Amino acid sequence: MLDHPVATVLDSDFNWQAADSAHHLHPFSDHKSLHEGKIRIITGAEGVYLTDDAGNRILDGMAGLWCVAVGYGRHELVDAAAAQMKTLPFYNTFFKTATRPVISLAERLTAMAPGDLNHAFFACSGSEAVDTALRMARTFWITRGQPSKRVIIGREFGYHGSTTLGAAAGGMVDMHRQGAALPDFAHVMPPYWYGYGSQMSPEAFGLYAARQVEDKIREIGAENVAAFIGEPIQGAGGVIIPPETYWPEVQRICRAHDILLIADEVICGFGRTGRMFGSETFGIAPDLMTLAKGITSGYIPLSAVLVGDRVADVLINETGEFYHGFTYSGHPVACAVALANLDILESEQLAARAEASGVKLRAKLAAALGEQPIVGEIRGTGLIGAIELTADRRTRRFFEKRGRVGALCRDHCFSNNLVMRAVRDTMVFSPPLTITDAEMDDLVDRATTAIMATQADVRSEIL
């Protein structure tokens, strides 16, 4: 039982810190250490800035969790949600029914998508979209009379969500240790040239990394492999940008061995890479594509799986009932918000803007930090990027205690009211696609302050 009255968001004198510690379990957190400190309570947002309950103005260099593409405070999305809630707040898409927003969004997404991705299935999160795509891939092969084709090949540092299937497909070993390791999943090295490229050129390494997929297929047997899943750019894995030679070779390998190719566009989709989809940026023609995050700019939960004709034709004409779906598949309010969000993305040409802004932002970061001893590489595509912190930039040697320097830098960022995420010792960023030149200057100034403070700590042997 609660020992205090339930608070409302307008209560200014309520002890929000204590209530959070007592009752709220945060995602991806060491709860003991989290509650020993003080959390930041976000109360508002506008453009690229957040506001907390202490009145701090925080530059959100991560667009929430890679998702707030059109920036905060867009009344068009609020109005779209309100209008749909007044008309039809909810109905499901089971029982031979649909709503106008879900039909409109399916039509629009398939028209936008590359290749023959002509059908859409909706869910609520990227994790659910990935689970759906994996179920579809396995169902496809079962229907085709090849039930042994069950194995999903993913990549080290790949992130495909937190549901059990998605986490098993991903390459995050800590998640596997906590119950997400499953049979019929395998993993290969990522196309991480900075970390694994040794003395190879990026072009040679791209081919080398891609051919690890073929080696794994041969080890398992193509007759046992259902699909390869990969993000065009591995976001949560540290913004691992593949060399240009990587994806064409992966695609050739999948086609040669009759393996379905799943592009996880949960982060890369909707303009983040400078094109509407990361698959366009890298010339990928996937059989299935997962979408979330930028589909509504995070204003309301929604995800989708776009399904190519080869898979869709089998599911529609041969499978019979597909025993999969969610109460909120194609929620009409979420679909209405997505349609309004796509209007903004297209009318403001935010994909093209992201490409141009990304070039500027990386140039500004290089000018400010490119010669600092702790900075090994500044990389990016569109408005997703990373600053690699290394012990020796000349040899690309990492710090011995991986993640310690990154965590320190993240804390310096937070102290300086900047949100950047640490992945191992790599600082990653993905600001809203609406970020202006002045706001980029602000981001660079705050990042420089944090990284210089981190460098001073390393030099003083605090670590």
Each residue's pLDDT tens digit, 336-357: 999 999 999 999 999 999 999 9
Each residue's pLDDT tens digit, 266-299: 999 999 999 999 999 999 999 999 999 999 999 9
**Residue written as token pair 């500004």:** 364
The values of phi and psi at residue 297, to 5°, are: 55, 30
- Please answer whether residues 387 and 447 qualify as being in contact, where contact means their C-beta atoms are separated by less than 8 angstroms: yes
- Of residues 174 and 9, the one with the higher pLDDT is 174
What's the CA gap between 363 and 352, in Å, rounded? Answer: 17
- Please answer whether residues 421 and 67 qualify as being in contact, where contact means their C-beta atoms are separated by less than 8 angstroms: no
What's the CA gap between 82 and 312, in Å, rounded? Answer: 34
**Which residues, in sequence order, are CB contacts of 261 under 8 Å at separation 6+?**
227, 228, 250, 251, 254, 284, 285, 286, 287, 288
DSSP, collapsed to helix, strand or coil, labels residue 151 as: strand
CB atoms within 10 A of CB 112: 17
* β-pair type (288-291, 151-155): unpaired
Select from 340, 348, 349, 347 the least CA-distant residue to 78: 340
Instruction: Give the pLDDT confidence score for residue 12 in this predicted structure.
Output: 67
**Which residues, in sequence order, are CB contacts of 302 under 8 Å at separation 6+?**
122, 123, 124, 292, 295, 296, 331, 334, 335, 337, 338
- The end-to-end CA distance of the chain, in Å, is 44
Instruction: Give the pLDDT confidence score for residue 30 in this predicted structure.
Output: 84
DSSP, collapsed to helix, strand or coil, labels residue 234 as: strand
DSSP, collapsed to helix, strand or coil, labels residue 49 as: strand
Instruction: Give the pLDDT confidence score for residue 2 in this predicted structure.
Output: 47
What's the CA gap between 227 and 214, in Å, rounded? Answer: 12
Select from 397, 403, 369 the least CA-distant residue to 385: 369
Each residue's pLDDT tens digit, 66-119: 999 999 999 999 999 999 999 999 999 999 999 999 999 999 999 999 999 999
What's the CA gap between 153 and 149, in Å, rounded? Answer: 11
pLDDT band at 1 (very low <50, low <70, confident <90, very high): very low
Residue 67's Cα: distance from chain center in Å?
A: 8
Q: What is the mean pLDDT of residues 363-373?
A: 97
What's the CA gap between 180 and 190, in Å, rounded? Answer: 20
Select from 372, 156, 353 the least CA-distant residue to 270: 353
Each residue's pLDDT tens digit, 199-251: 899 999 999 999 999 999 999 999 999 999 999 999 999 999 999 999 999 99
Which segments of 276-416 are extended strands (E)?
288-291, 303-308, 375-381, 384-389
Residue 314 has pLDDT above 90, yes or no: yes
Which segments of 286-364 are extended strands (E)?
288-291, 303-308
Cα–Cα distance list, 13 to 35, 43, 54 (Å): 20, 14, 12
Residue 3 has pLDDT above 80, yes or no: no
Which tokens belong to 337? 């918000």
Select from 142, 153, 206 the least CA-distant residue to 184: 153
